[in-house]
Amino acid sequence: MPKPKAYPVALTAEERERLRAFTTKGVASARELRRARILLLAAEDRLDAEVAAAVGCCAATVGRIRRRCAEEGVAAALSDRTRPGAAPLLDSAQEATLIALACTESPRGPDSPWTMQLLADRLVALGVVDRISDETVRRTLKKTTSSPGNARSGASPN
């Protein structure tokens, strides 16, 4: 005999009907539709493995959705949590310094362009940042429009 669920899903008739309508009508992301199907099947007292096989996910996913539904409610179980991401490594003043530095002449001379590592080393030497990688420099310069390869150079269009 299977053991009782740690997080049983108990849906009201209104919630059940709303989830059925959600899965058959309208437009929603595939994740939300899968989560709605998981909740509907879990409310029928099925095992996590059965629900996972029917929906096409792993049993751990079913367990997580069950837990979120029990702890936070049906709406929270359907939607993604916000992901704040990492804090920016350079603030706007530091980015401006980097861009201004990239527009100057390289220390190797006028015929040799700046490398990402040279720019990173120069920012540390100037005391703009304590440490920075060449990859951070590359990503920062890539998102600007002042890149020499990004704008038209004044030559005739193709």
Over residues 72-126, the pLDDT tens digits come to: 999 999 998 888 888 888 999 999 999 999 999 998 888 889 999 999 999 999 9
Is residue 14's pLDDT more than 90? yes
Percent of the chain beyond pLDDT 70?
Answer: 89
Distances (CA, A) of 36 to 102, 103, 141: 51, 53, 42
Distances (CA, A) of 125 to 116, 118, 122, 130: 14, 10, 5, 9
Considering only residues 152 and 131, tell me which one the structure prediction assigns the higher pLDDT: 131
Percent of the chain beyond pLDDT 90?
Answer: 66
